[in-house]
Structure 1
């Protein structure tokens, strides 16, 4: 059987690399070294005669200034980023840490500062050892000025970004963006490109894994390839976000008992990427959970910030409305992997992840109760039977919680009025 890495798996692996702070700085550092030595190539060419004369001392002075300042700025950026990461974990939710770490502006800034430091150190060494002739020295001077300009622009942009990084509002926006992408992918491919399971009981030989953790990604192309070679059908029982252990089946294979004993399922098991933590890319429910946790922490007595919970409620309405928006692909039910059956994520589970904690912890806050009722009314008005029915259930449940927690009659009247007015979310 041919083993390969699908484009979907490459996307998942690229996302994991984006969360590593050392990747971009390493790439930029290597590029900086290459650029320093590439400036030498102009020496000995016809263009060398056209290059103006640049004093060696002026280049050394610029490079020395850069070398002495960039290391300090890089250290400052790291300390500021660490403080922002701690703030994101403490004020929002630890589940948002991976998104804050993957912030493009901060990673690009750190990469630029470290890369400029490496560039200046290597260039100074080359200049002092008379590595360049007249043309090479001029090219190095131009490169140094260019790096200076990039550093200044990056620093200004980074200062504007670091002031927001780790703040609750910024963290909510990052979680919303990641969840939106995951929801759109799942809306466009509710069964990950496989065959839909129509509520029939799952049958077949169970496939287990020795790992314990969360399913982070499923490589459907690899499973399809393995099923074609083995001439079997596969029914998935664990979606991304599912906690698995050796006693829980990843999938079921439709095959006779005699043939099952001779079948090698190692490739099928490897198609499930199991890790210690849930991830946002392929698990839309995790984003909803993270947002719900941010709201629940804001509603705790220690924080007492109902405004943040109200902001999260609005975010959840935007995200869940994606399920009702039209797909950009021609047919969201198009089957790419006809030998793999996949259950869909239930709308009821998404609503449970999104609103249960907010309705429970915000039951004693009149402003949160009213906004939650309006939000669920808005979702109930959508032209989707599953969303409408689930929104109505959670609206009634939230009303019961509010009636149990609120003691002022006028507060109860306000919540009941908000529950009775459908389709209004202001």
Structure 2
């Protein structure tokens, strides 16, 4: 039952990121509401409304048909405009910032709910329209259904105004960076909290896996989610340790070794393990904090490309990277999980050294010619060098190495000697 719940939750998180999820859901609700209202009209709900509030009832069927037709045509127009606006802004975000941002922008619930409101209202009005004849009199019209249709139309107009406001806000780079940062921060803090609770020397006691039994996956994809509780329980029950050789968020090839087991596994046991691992063709920051580093780095690199040349955006991106790296330094580099004071599971991870080098290599390549950005990167590395680390002083050695590499690239790229002297003075390092 637990496994089924996890798989359903993972499936829901995946489809929730699709732009058509909430519009489809609300469209079904609008369709069902139309039939519910038809049933209520048969029960005489409009006659009750006519007796209590006759001023809310329209006079004849022709007027109602005209109003309802105008409402449908108007909502279709603003829905088409809204969808066109979404596609245009997504295209701009992809070209100006990074294509990796698209899943996060598409999965914005607010925009999906607004588009779903349009679609639900159109479907509702169309089915209500079927029940109205031009020669219907006031007492035979489905008054409550018509009144609700008008209310929904007004709601769509208000939603359209909010949609324009929300899209103009969501496409701003500061808001994009904020969104990425807080999602990854929440994920990182959750991971580091769990590691601090399990602080023990056992976290470093995992045997070598060179001679273990290796197994492949039957279908490739991005290693997105895993049920740690179920797999560690499996390891304990079957008295075997497991090593997952591909880091989370990376693409797992179909014929590449992925699972290593201390003891030989049967096909049924291997299937149980794979049932608790989710593979996908996309990835989200909520599932993998590494993606946040990639996205923010790509935003900075894109901003410093010759076609865009936006140092301000690059500086903002470096500020967010600084905070994320500081959080990452509180996390260990072993990827070992405990159960009942024994290390049963180990997952390959992107080490701090690899993560820092990957980000800095891209930033150095595109920022080394700009003295202001070089100073900003030096400041970031110096800030990280004095942060608290998780029992791993190698982190500070990695930072010192990156400072040396940055200064070496800057010295060869800065044409003005005065710029180089200022950068060298700030770094307080002989180069």
TM over 0.5: yes
Determine the C-alpha separation between the residues in 1 that align with 2:137 and 2:395.
69
Distance 2:197 2:214 in 1: 20
TM-fit CA distance, 1:273 = 2.5
Give the deviation of 1:130 after TM superposition.
Answer: 10
Partner in structure 2 of residue 175 of structure 1: 180
Q: What's 2:4 paired with?
A: 5
Question: 1:358 Cα deviation (Å)?
Answer: 0.8
Pairwise CA distance, 1:365: 0.7
Residue 112 of structure 1: how far off its partner (Å): 1.6
Q: 1:406 to 1:11 in 2, by over 3 A?
A: farther
Distance 2:266 2:339 in 1: 30
Q: State the shift of 1:12 in Å.
A: 3.2
SS of equivalent residue, structure 2 residue 278: strand
Cα distance in 2 between the residues matched to 1:245 and 1:254:
22
**Cα contact 1:84–1:165 (8 A) shared by 2:** no
The C-alpha deviation readout for 1:312-364, integer Å capped at 9, x for no partner, is 101111222334679xxxxx987589743335542223322332211222111
| CA distance in 1: counterparts of 2:226 and 2:285, whole angstroms | 13
Secondary structure of the residue aligned to 2:307 is coil
2-structure distance, mates of 1:152, 1:290: 35
Work out the CA distance in 1 between the residues paired with 2:233 and 2:206: 25
Residue of 23, 26, 31 corresponding to 2:24: 26
CA distance in 2, matches of 1:47, 1:388: 74
Q: Is the 8 A contact 1:88 1:100 kept in 2?
A: no
Please, what is the CA RMSD of the aligned residues? 3.5
CA-to-aligned-CA distance 1:131-179 (integer Å, 9 cap, x gap): 9996993432442243133212211111112224445444433433443
Aligned to 2:372: 367
Q: Does 1:216 align with 2:197?
A: no
CA distance in 1, matches of 2:426, 2:124: 62
Partner residue of 1:140 out of 139, 145, 149? 145
Contact 2:79–2:118 (8 Å) recurs in 1: yes
Query: Conserved in 2, the CA contact under 8 Å of 1:42 and 1:48?
Result: no
Residue from 14, 17, 23 that aligns with 1:16: 14
The answer for the alignment partner of 2:256 in structure 1 is 248
Per the normalisation by structure 1, the TM-score is: 0.83
Match of 1:52 in 2: 53
Which of 71, 77, 81 is equivalent to 1:76?
A: 81
1:152 aligned onto 2:157: yes
Partner SS, residue 308 of structure 2:
coil
1:60 to 1:335, Cα distance in 2 relative to 1, 3 A: farther
* Mapped contact 1:67–1:117 kept (Cα < 8 A): yes
Query: Structure 1 residue 186: deviation in Å?
Result: 3.0
Alignment partner, residue 242 of structure 2: 234
* Secondary structure, counterpart of 1:310 in structure 2: helix
**TM-aligned CA distance change 1:121 to 1:383, over 3 Å:** same
TM-superposition CA deviations, 1:377-398 (whole Å, max 9, x none): 2222222245544333322321
Find the residue that maps to 1:273 and give its secondary structure: strand
User: Relative to structure 1, is the Cα distance of residues 262 and 52 closer, same or farther in structure 2, using a 3 angstrom cutoff?
Assistant: closer
How many residues are treated as equivalent by the alignment? 411
- Structure 1 partner of 2:325: 320
- Structure 2 segments unaligned to the other structure (5+ residues): none
Instruction: Confirm or deny: 8 A CA contact 1:310 1:371 kept in the other structure.
Output: yes
Aligned to 1:201: 208
For 1:177-211, what per-residue CA distance to the aligned partner results, in whole angstroms no more than 9, with x for missing partners?
44333323333345999984546422521121143
**Quick one: distance in 2 between partners of 1:213 and 1:395?**
36
| TM-aligned CA deviation for residue 406 of structure 1 | 1.1
Moved more, 133-142 or 63-72: 133-142
Equivalent-residue separation in structure 2 for 1:38 and 1:193 (angstroms): 54
- The answer to whether the 8 Å contact 2:75/2:153 transfers is no
Give the corresponding residue for 2:387.
382
What is the alpha-carbon distance in structure 1 between the residues aligned to residue 135 and residue 344 of structure 2? Answer: 66
